Amino acid sequence: MVTDRRTSKDLIRDLTALEGSRCTECSRPLCGHHTLVSLVMGFKNAPRCAGCLATALDHPFERFRDQVVELVNHRDCYRSGWKWADRQEGVDPSPRPPCLWPNGTADAKKGKGAVAAPAKKHTPDPDAHWDAGDMGCGDLVLELRLRLTRMNPGQVLKVTARDPGAPEDLPAWCRLTGHALVQSEPPVYWIRRKES
């Protein structure tokens, strides 16, 4: 578990760094609430969706979810993270967001089915577009680095990358370098250049 010493600022920084991540187990995209659940459970470097975490713990999804939400409600930093996730997903502040309560007030039948795709975000207007084709691995990120270097801080590069490793690689590269993966819809990715 994350300790009480963690501040809201720390938590939101971690949530932001994990934007665009996928579940380490099932590879589904993680929305803000599922990422928060993963952080609450201590999975910062290998985030997992709530469904996979429940399965790993051999708990029914609903029971696991409700226990984690109970933890969230008792700590200021987690509550801040929950509000952050509401905003990121463009949903009204809610104790029961659809990504964790896919059937509304009724509980999900199966934990795995509860992993909703992230709510549709506003697609950022890119400042440049690069079709990387089948380029992958080191070639892809080296060229990507060069292209972002030529852009101004805060500008967004829309990248189309069809390499089969790109859905894993580009989020990892962004976490490593500090550039923000604003949106990910493989094979298209929107990356905002960091400040320096």
Site residues, another protein (CB under 8 A): 24, 27, 45-46, 56, 134, 136-141, 163-166, 168-170, 172-173, 175-176
Q: Let me know: does 49 contact 119? Beta carbons within 8 Å.
A: no
Which CB sits closer to another protein, 77 or 141? 141
Which CB sits closer to another protein, 24 or 160? 24
CA distance 179 to 6: 23
Which CB sits closer to another protein, 98 or 186? 186
For residue 117, count CB atoms less than 10 angstroms from its CB and return exposed for 0-12, middle for 13-18, buried for 19 or more: exposed
CB of 39 to another protein, least distance (A): 15
Spatial neighbors of 196 by CB under 8 A, at least 6 apart, are 153
CB of 30 to another protein, least distance (A): 15
Which CB sits closer to another protein, 108 or 144? 144
Spatial neighbors of 128 by CB under 8 A, at least 6 apart, are 147, 151, 155, 156, 157, 158
